[in-house]
Amino acid sequence: MNANEPEWSTLLFPNGGDIGEVMVGSGSNTLAMLAVGTAGMALISNGAGNQVFWGKILLNSSLYVSGTLPTGNGGTGASTFTLGSVVFAGASGVYTQDNSNFFWDNTNNRLGVGTASPRDTLHVVGQADVTHTAISPDEHALEVEVDAAGHGDIKAVDITYTTGPLATGEDTEAILVNIDESSAGGGDVFGLEVIGTEGSANLYGLKAAALINPVLQLSGTFVDMDSALVKTTNRLTEFLNAGNDIVFFVDLNDTVTIGDAAKFEELEFLLATTASGPGVKPTFEFSTGSGTWDDFTPTDGTDGMRHTGVIVWEDSDIPGWNTGVGTEYLIRIKRNQVALTTSPIESKVQIAAVVEFSWLKDGKIKALTLQSTQTTGTAPLTVASTTLVANLNADLLDGVHAAAFSDVAWVGAWSGV
- Report pLDDT digits (tens) over 146-182: 999 999 999 999 999 999 999 988 999 999 999 999 9
The values of phi and psi at residue 64, to 5°, are: -115, -30
Q: Give the containing element (helix H, strand E) for 238.
A: helix 236-240
pLDDT in tens, 63-109: 666 677 666 666 777 778 899 999 998 887 788 899 999 999 999 99
Domain shared by 234 and 350, yes or no: yes
Question: pTM, whole model, 2 decimals?
Answer: 0.76
Residue at 95 is within a domain: yes
- SS3 label, residue 91: helix
pLDDT in tens, 215-261: 999 999 999 999 999 999 999 999 999 999 999 999 999 999 999 99
Please name the residues in contact with 278: beta carbons below 8 A apart, sequence gap of 6 or more: 304, 306, 337
Domain shared by 268 and 307, yes or no: yes
Domain shared by 52 and 83, yes or no: no
Q: How many residues does the chain have?
A: 417
Domain shared by 324 and 237, yes or no: yes
Per-residue confidence (pLDDT) for residue 398, from 0 to 100: 61
Domain shared by 231 and 352, yes or no: yes
* CATH number, position 304: 2.60.120.260
Domain shared by 24 and 114, yes or no: no
Please name the residues in contact with 339: beta carbons below 8 A apart, sequence gap of 6 or more: 277
Residue at 34 is within a domain: yes
Domain shared by 334 and 279, yes or no: yes
Per-residue confidence (pLDDT) for residue 4, from 0 to 100: 60
Please name the residues in contact with 291: beta carbons below 8 A apart, sequence gap of 6 or more: 324, 325
Higher pLDDT pick, 300 / 385? 300
User: Domain limits at 249?
Assistant: 227-358
Domain shared by 59 and 93, yes or no: no
* Count of domains forming the chain: 3
Average pLDDT, the chain: 88
